[in-house]
Amino acid sequence: MTMVGALLEANARFAETFDASGIHAPRFALLTCMDGRLDPARFLDLAPGDAHVIRNAGGRADADAIRSIVVSYRLLGTREIVVVHHEDCGMMRFTNDELRDMLRADLGLDASQIDFLPFSDLDESVRVDVRMLRQCPLIPDAIPISGFVYDVSSGRLREVR
């Protein structure tokens, strides 16, 4: 039994009262973790259209995140980048070797070429990703980039400098 039936029912209810008017072009790109406890629309009070929200495990500035950010600013007009990692992130609970061992045990596959981008120092992970974006030649210096940690227990953002 999959989730799809329930999801379609929920969508049908949503669409009954949906109104697409007034949705504007996004002004900034938000890179954050896929963690289900993070709801950027709520913790940043975003309306539909306010941001391009790019999510992955950890909110890491990997090649695919950069791909989306370049499309976001260059083709779709966003003018600022915000990186948000968070307390109690699952990416701090494993190492590359541990996950690779699991995959080898489960599937008999060698994932040694994949960096899953786990981290042990939360603030440093934000600094690393902001620096990665800042130093990316595809992203102009004129675009402000800032980094934050979101506290899943208080709902508060804290800037990381």
Site residues for Zn ion, 101-130, by CB under 5 A, read none
DSSP for residue 71: I
Q: Exactly one of 31, 35, 84, 139 binds Zn ion (CB under 5 A); which one?
A: 35
- From 25-33, 62-70, 128-136, 137-145, give the range in contact with Zn ion by CB under 5 A: 25-33
- From 6-14, 32-40, 74-82, 129-137, give the range in contact with Zn ion by CB under 5 A: 32-40
| Residue 89 CB neighbour total at 10 angstroms | 22
Dihedral over Cα of 136, 141, 142, 144: its sign: positive
C-beta of 40: minimal distance to Zn ion in Å?
13
- Indicate whether 33 belongs to the interface with Zn ion (CB under 5 A): yes
- Indicate whether 51 belongs to the interface with Zn ion (CB under 5 A): no
Q: Exactly one of 89, 130, 133, 149 binds Zn ion (CB under 5 A); which one?
A: 89
Nearer to Zn ion, 35 or 129 (CB): 35
Which tokens go with 76? 């779709």
Backbone angles phi, psi at 5, to 5 degrees: -60, -50
- 40 dihedral zone (left: phi>0; alpha: psi -120 to 50; beta): alpha
- From 4-12, 26-34, 102-110, 117-125, give the range in contact with Zn ion by CB under 5 A: 26-34
Nearest to 33 by CA among 78, 74, 93: 93
- CA dist 85 and 34 (Å) reads 10
Footprint of Zn ion (CB under 5 A): 33, 35, 89
